[in-house]
Amino acid sequence: MQKQRYRRIGWPAIAALLIVAFAATLGSVAARQSQSKAQIQSAEKAQTKVVLLGTGTPRPYPDRSGPATAIVVGERAYLVDFGPGVVRRASAAAEKGTPELASTNLKIAFLTHLHSDHTAGYPDLILTPWVMGRTELDVYGPEGLEEMTKHVLEAWWQDIEIRTKGLEQRHALVVRAHDVKPGVVYKDERVTVTVFRVPHGQWPEAFGYRFDTPGKSIVISGDTSPSEEIVAHCQPCDVLIHEVYSPESVLLMPDYKTYRAKYHTSTSELAEIANRTKPGMLVVYHMSGRGPNGRIPDEQMLREIQKTYHGKVVIGHDLEVY
């Protein structure tokens, strides 16, 4: 009788102990999963890189290639603009520690607008990586990109024909151009890309871009005068990459001050935008800064911005990584 009473009392106790142990195990698993998720998010954030391939303007400074920025997420690269020298700058970045920017990996690109300093590297982007073995290229941008792509392919038709039908026996050149409108224009497991309009003088369409990755939000202004769209799309954002000019700079045109105001953003205007958006980091590129006595130093451009903006700001240079 005593043994049976012990058995009757024992089973509920054992069940209770099992429940407690199971709950503890679940809690431990949940904690590990939460920790693992945090580690993955931290790793993904670390894996998102901003690489400045070209930070220049139409002026052919040898240390500043034409506008081009790469967003690298994991093993995939996304290119914004393709100014002169874009493929070789990407190859230089690959050799300096970002192998994802090897020419054959330049498969997805976005264009802010059709100005020549942002597009003169387009034939290079289409042809050089293809000759090196890339299989396809998708490009997204404003109206006119599809037509530009058609004309580039027509201009190089003999090269393409000889390389594909001659002794080289290259595979077919596949380029898909997409004229897009504001909104989400691209999405995969690594990134969501949103297009928004910016005002750039007489251009009927000019775009800025927002990239959302698992770890970072990045906004690229393209060429623009002060824009409420940029303010709206960088609240919040981790990195704001924005063009600028110094009010002390001059241009060889009849009414360059009116041109500047309609097409670009001054250092004081950029400081105001940064104060409103408060990005984690402001990266300045596409700087128009040549005064009566020559090139305006980076330090002066920085001082002009920092007169009224006291957040983190850097003057970008080719091949820098953020």
Round to whole Å and give the CA distance between 236 and 117: 29
| pLDDT tens figures, 184-222 | 999 999 999 999 999 999 999 999 999 999 989 999 999
Mean pLDDT of the chain: 90
- Answer yes or no: is pLDDT of 29 > 60: no
- Answer yes or no: is pLDDT of 13 > 90: no
Q: Burial level of 97, CB count in 10 A (0-12/13-18/19+)?
A: exposed
The pLDDT assigned to 43 comes to 57
Round to whole Å and give the CA distance between 304 and 110: 31
Rounded mean pLDDT of 293-320?
96
For the chain, the domains span 46-315
Rounded mean pLDDT of 111-125?
98
Half-sphere exposure at residue 82, Cβ-oriented, CA atoms within 13 angstroms:
26
- Answer yes or no: is pLDDT of 38 > 90: no
The pLDDT assigned to 302 comes to 97
Q: Which residues make beta-bridge pairs with 209?
A: 195, 220
The pLDDT assigned to 20 comes to 44
| pLDDT tens figures, 145-185 | 999 999 999 999 999 999 999 999 999 999 999 999 999 99
The pLDDT assigned to 41 comes to 52
Q: Burial level of 170, CB count in 10 A (0-12/13-18/19+)?
A: middle
Cα end-to-end distance, the chain, whole Å = 77
Asked whether 142 and 180 are in contact (CB, 8 A), the reply is yes
What dotted CATH number matches 46-315? 3.60.15.10
Residue 117 known to be catalytic: yes
Q: Which of these, 278, 286, 276, 185, lies nearest to 227 by C-alpha position?
A: 276
| pLDDT tens figures, 120-129 | 999 999 999 9
Round to whole Å and give the CA distance between 55 and 85: 11
Rounded mean pLDDT of 32-47?
56
Confidence of residue 293 (pLDDT cuts 50, 70, 90): confident
Confidence of residue 290 (pLDDT cuts 50, 70, 90): confident
- Long-range pairs, 134-138, Cβ under 8 A, ≥24: 134/103, 134/104, 134/105, 134/106, 134/107, 135/171, 135/174, 136/107, 136/174, 136/175, 136/176, 137/106, 137/107, 137/108, 137/109, 137/174, 137/175, 137/176, 138/107, 138/108, 138/109, 138/176, 138/178
- Answer yes or no: is pLDDT of 260 > 70: yes
Asked whether 214 and 188 are in contact (CB, 8 A), the reply is no
The pLDDT assigned to 251 comes to 85
Rounded mean pLDDT of 253-279?
95
Rounded mean pLDDT of 217-243?
98
Catalytic: which of 117, 212, 238, 318? 117
The pLDDT assigned to 2 comes to 42
Residues 6 or more apart from 226 whose CB is under 8 A from it? Answer: 265, 269, 272, 273
